[in-house]
Structure 1
């Protein structure tokens, strides 16, 4: 479980949801700097595990029911200066849609080749490695590194 000091801003938990050869990205109504498209994410509540927060935020934002597979890593995000954790998740049920229209403008299931169009500034290295290993990289569906 992640412990927060009372004077610190809560950490942000992001869900890396891969399903049928694509990864889920959401576009927030209000961008954080140049961050427009990103993974479903939100603040970790007091006493909540990072992985549980990623699962909860995904359902709240997209209506998709997911389960945490593994924590991929964490860092201080260079653009927001917030503690970020990234959790690989699997789809358990539901269909992704904009469930929280106050926060999200749209969502997209993105192929490996399309990621740079949505996130041109690159991904956190452990997340990129996970997606490289998990998503088909070529148009022929062959996994490549």
Structure 2
């Protein structure tokens, strides 16, 4: 997880993510965004959740949350310091607060 900086949801904990490129599959987008933001290379990923949220200032996002698998020796690096405060591995049952809304919905769903 990382704390968001400089955009809607600033200060909230998030997963790696970003915008889907035209013609890009959800799986490729998740793998690309994870590597761009953390340096971690995913071996594979699977769809977990689709979410639709309307934020302040007229932003409406559809969030596609994927579960990724990586080797256990990879270390997350801060690749985009203007967008977040750094990365850490967290216990799913003891998540920090506050969570970015889409992630909060997954955690509260009992997954």
Q: Shorter-chain TM-score category?
A: 0.7 to 0.9
Q: How many residues align?
A: 106
Deviation beyond 6 Å, 4+ runs, structure 1: none
Unaligned runs of 5+ in 2: none
Which has the bigger relative contact order, CA under 8 A and spacing at least 6? 2
Cα offset for 1:113? 3.2
Q: After superposition, what is the alpha-carbon deviation per residue over 1:54-84, rounded to whole angstroms, capped at 9, x for unaligned?
A: 1111100111111333101212124452011
Bigger strand fraction: 1
Which residue is 1:123 aligned to? Answer: 104
TM-score (ref. length: structure 2): 0.76
Deviation digits for residues 93-136 of structure 1, max 9, x if unmatched? 63211012232222221112321534286623488544xxxxxx
The 1:77/1:87 distance shift into structure 2, 3 A limit, reads same
RMSD of aligned alpha carbons:
2.6
Give the structure-1-normalised TM-score. 0.60
Q: Which of the residues 29, 32, 39 maps onto 2:5? A: 29
Q: Which has the larger radius of gyration?
A: 1
Counterpart of 1:99 (choices 79, 83, 86) is: 79
